Structure 1
Amino acid sequence: MLASPRPIPSQRLSRLWYLGRATGDLAAGLGFKGLIELAQSQAQDRPARIQISPEHARRFAERLSELRGAVMKLGQLMSMDGTDILTPEVAEVLAGLRERATPMPMSQLVEVLTREYGRDWDRRFKRFEFTPVAAASIGQVHRAETHDGHRLALKIQFPGVRASIDSDIANLGLIVRTLGLGPKGIDIRPFLDEARRQLHREADYEAEAKALERYRACLGDDPDLAVPQVHRDLTTPNILAMDLATGVPIDRLAGPEYRRAERDRAATLLMRLTLRELFEFGLVQTDPNFANYLYDRTSGRIVLLDFGAMVPIAPSLITCYRQLARAIIAGDRAGIQAAAIALGYVGAADPQDQVAAMLDLLELAAEPLRSPGVYDFGASDLFERVYRQGRALFHAGVFSAAPAPETMFLHRKFMGSFMLARRLRARVELAQLVPLCL
């Protein structure tokens, strides 16, 4: 159920005020013990287990939901695998950000429709449902039906969200620097700039329509995966019109009403798709939000949604990742090092012990690729092991440089695929999938 409609704050100072209140709710929920836990976890190289009351988490989520835009994206990412650092109750509260935001009031909705379609906008439809079926960080979705019987989903952008992206990123950067949340020794500005560019792409619905059509052509007539068709005559820079898709968010398959075979199959299909995006399509949908995948139990198909975060990958970068994957599978340490240097994970002149430590981390992170047979993501503690080893390298100063900012979204995609398989407690024969895509 969606929250009651509220206007979207549009000015930088008002958005900073809302963000400050959200941060205050989170800090109040942590309390003194939580701050001690964070400090101890950093000193002991282990993930923090944050104890925050569901009530404070609910307030934090509500603030982000009211803001929408870039800061709500932050909350969505926090919820992706929150059970590793948050209590299950708090992770469940934040999970709501992946599927719903606070919708805009009727007056703002009509204002957008009139601006995009004209005063007689309602004549374009046989039926239009004013109550949104979903609201996310950038827009909300309404069902509609055309006079020729097409059932549509209209993604309508929140007014002012596009104009607020720059200020949101600036506000987040200010908070990160003020609270010392960024990695020491690494300039986060290139990554914030890349995040800014990505969010501007996501807020251009005509560009998303083109991306959706391009991706649909790459996927072809896949029996297991589907992409809605765009309706160009009703698509504008602020409204994306496409076929109505049905199903439940993919992470619902973790519930007891679904069989293990369904979970394993869904995770396998999406793992394979992640590999095809990088190595075959050269187009990667980089938003790991689980709500971007709908599972239709009747047909068994997975419907893919939201292509605003689709990024074309340079052939040179694809080549580097292909070389890295092949070297890891073959156990070729020299090949792993060459690929890591090409990707910017290590420098050619770095001390050998630091290079070796980074290669160890890469091999550890690639455990599912190297494991023969079925890899049980639900039983794996790989996330914790990578975290501990990465934290130790961080404190040792191994991360003296950072890879190109455009790899940030690829890493987000890879991690999102891992988190989904883990959330579904799925078993995937990843070692067999990867060679087929290389």
Structure 2
Amino acid sequence: MTDPRPPRSRTAAVPQGRARRLLHFGRAVGELAAGAAAEGLSRLARGQMPQVSRMVLTPGNARRLATRLSQLRGAAMKFGQLMSMDGHGVLPPQFTELLGGLRDRAHVMPASQLAEVLEREYGVGWHRRFRSFSFEPIAAASIGQVHRAVTHDGRELALKIQYPGVRESIDSDVSNLALLAKTPGLVPSGLDPAPLFERVRRVLHQETDYVAEARALTEYRERLGADELFVVPEVDAEHSTASILATSFQPGEAIDRLAEPGVPQAHRDRIAHALCRLVVREIFELRLVQTDPNFANYLYDAKTQRVALLDFGATQTVSLQRVEHLRALGRAMRDQDHDAMSRAARRAGFIAESDPPEQARQVVDLILMIGEPLAQDRLFDFAASELFKRSFEAGRDQYFGSGFSHAPPPDLVFLQRKMVGVFMLCTRLKARVNLARLFGEQL
């Protein structure tokens, strides 16, 4: 039987169709403009000369934008997630923090729309295939929400159910995001958001292919094998469809809860060390990387002290040639060798032969700065270090100064995204990890 209790989460039907979704984007622009105007008047009343960026990037506008993107879901919400994760140093801290709520908390479908999706995928009388089904989702993200179900033979499942129309709306949503980005003060002057929009478009097309994700999850599970700390769910093919991915249910809570007071430093360090070691294994041994570093994709089970790895929609393979490129980059970082780094960066594609010498030198300097922890055989204190801030500022100065002649290869962008996300999680946990030894094992 099904669980008749109404959802306790915020509910909103997923807007379907280009016109309806465009209307929501237009409302988002209007709400930002109205909020900016109110902030400007408030500042004038206090005798302050308002700046456009400060009028737009306010906590009130962040709440309004997060709510609107959460209602839209799809590419719009993915954009907000990337802003919250990649906006360090560009967006005000409060703005980034409020948008951060989009990482694992979307509006959820009302029960009527959810039932329509289930009937479309499983057929009339879909509920009879389960002993129980909870209408209250256990998670809701940009392209789907997750529900708990129990089969008649007692298997506990997590059903990731894709929002209706999300797959078909990706391209038009990305185009509509350009409208939102034109809001004065939302995007820093001189920053071209087009590459970010294209990145969102490609990621969404991959992540909405649940059949491909099921294959990637199964392959990752096989390559990882039995692990002392990490557990990977198992695909349940019987209850999976093109729009529903069924896997074994994994208990736990978001891993960043370990940052709460009372969790021993040694325990946080152990988990962070394991997460960093997993990234190293993914790249150099498994050659299969789950590239979405969303904190909600790691569930910590306090009872077993194990971490469940979730969401394999953005899984990427790593070629043997790319592994060798990364090893060369790692060795140059470890040795802080400028000449070796220049050669490795050219082979990897960070630098082209046509790049101006000064620009190439700045790229090499930036990569060596990022690799400083690999040259120090000691615990790297993520909470105390200013390395991320320094490297971001150096990259931003170069971007707005001499610029970059070309973007790095797409596969390296995704690998970088994964490593930065894991390091951000380690920072959130206030952890200490000897990165030199971890990476050194593979260099």
With the length of structure 1 as denominator, give the TM-score of the two structures: 0.89
The equivalent residue for 1:144 is 149
Task: Out of 323-332 and 219-228, give the one that drifted further.
Answer: 323-332
For 1:333-344, list aligned pairs within 5 A.
Answer: 333-344=338-349
Indicate if the aligned counterparts of 2:355 and 2:405 stay in contact, CA closer than 8 A. Answer: no
Aligned residue among 355, 367, 376 for 1:371: 376
- 3-state SS in 1 of match to 2:217: helix
Question: CA, structure 1 residues 243+183, in 2 after alignment: closer, same or farther (shift >3 Å)?
Answer: farther
Letter in 2 for 1:238: S
Mean Cα deviation higher: 141-150 or 342-351: 342-351
Amino acid in structure 2 at the alignment position of 1:133: I
SS at match of 2:205: helix
Q: 2:101 aligns with which of 96, 99, 111?
A: 96
Q: SS of the residue aligned with 1:437?
A: coil
Unaligned runs of at least 5 residues, structure 2: 1-6, 44-48
Could you tell me which residue of structure 2 aligns to residue 356 of structure 1? 361
* Residue in structure 1 matched with residue 238 of structure 2 by the alignment: 233
How far did residue 198 of structure 1 move?
A: 2.3
Among 15, 18, 27, which residue is 1:9 paired with? 15
Question: After alignment, is 208-217 or 192-201 more displaced?
Answer: 192-201
- The CA deviation at 1:56 is 2.9
2:65 paired with 1:60: yes
2:77 maps to 72
Superposition deviation, residue 123 in structure 1:
1.4
Q: Quick one: distance in 1 between partners of 2:50 and 2:20?
A: 28
Q: Call closer, same or farther: CA 1:433–1:35 in 2, change over 3 Å.
A: farther
Give me the whole-angstrom Cα distance separating, in 1, the residues matched to 2:104 and 2:309: 15
Match of 2:51 in 1: 36
Counterparts in 2 of 1:375 and 1:232: CA distance versus 1, 3 Å: same
- Tell me what 2:309 maps to: 304
Q: Which runs of 5+ in 1 are unaligned?
A: 40-48
Correspondence 1:271 to 2:286 = no
> Distance in 2 between the 1:255 and 1:168 partners?
37
Q: Tell me which moved more, 318-327 or 178-187.
A: 178-187
* 8 Å Cα contact 2:9/2:108 also seen in 1: yes
Q: Is the partner of 2:26 in helix, strand or coil?
A: helix
Q: 2:225 pairs with 216, 220, 232, which one?
A: 220
- Matched residues in 2 for 1:348 and 1:35: separation? 45
Q: What whole-Å deviation, never above 9, does each CA across 1:407-434 have from its counterpart, x for those lacking one? A: 2222211211121111111111111000
Equivalent in the alignment of 2:4: none
1:359-438 superposed matches below 5 A: 359-438=364-443
Alpha carbons 1:50, 1:86 under 8 Å: kept? no
Q: C-alpha separation between the residues in 1 aligned to 2:373 and 2:52?
A: 31
Counterparts of 1:83 and 1:186, CA distance in 2: 17
SS state at 1:349 partner: coil
Equivalent residue, structure 2, for 1:43: none
2:26 is aligned to 20
Contact 2:33/2:56 (<8 A) preserved: no
Cα-to-partner distance string for 1:54-103 (whole Å, 9 max, x where unaligned): x3322211101100011111222233376756666554433321122111
Q: TM-score, normalised by structure 2?
A: 0.88
CA distance in 2, matches of 1:317, 1:434: 16
State the alpha-carbon separation in 1 of the partners of residues 56 and 412 from structure 2. Answer: 29
C-alpha distance in 1, partners of 2:250/2:427?
A: 25
Deviations 1:365-413 (A, max 9, x none): 1122222200000011122211221122123324122122332222211
Secondary structure at the residue paired with 1:406? helix
Give per-residue Cα distances to partners, 1:291-312, cap 9 Å, x unaligned: 0001112221111000011112
CA RMSD after TM alignment: 2.7
Instruction: Give the superposition deviation at 1:252.
Output: 1.1
Contact 1:81-1:419 at 8 Å conserved across structures: no
Task: Identify if the C-alpha distance between structure 1 residues 183 and 58 changes in structure 2 by more than 3 Å, giving closer, same or farther.
Answer: closer
Query: For 1:99 and 1:213, how far apart are their aligned partners in 2?
Result: 23
Aligned counterparts of 1:175 and 1:51: Cα–Cα separation in 2 = 13
Query: Structure 1 residues 423 and 187, CA, compared in 2 at 3 Å: closer, same or farther?
Result: closer
Equivalent position amino acid for 1:339 in 2: A
CA distance in structure 1 between the partners assigned to 2:79 and 2:354 by the alignment = 35
How much identity, in percent, do the aligned residues show?
48
2:254 counterpart of 1:249:
yes
Among candidates 86, 108, 120, match of residue 125 of structure 2? 120
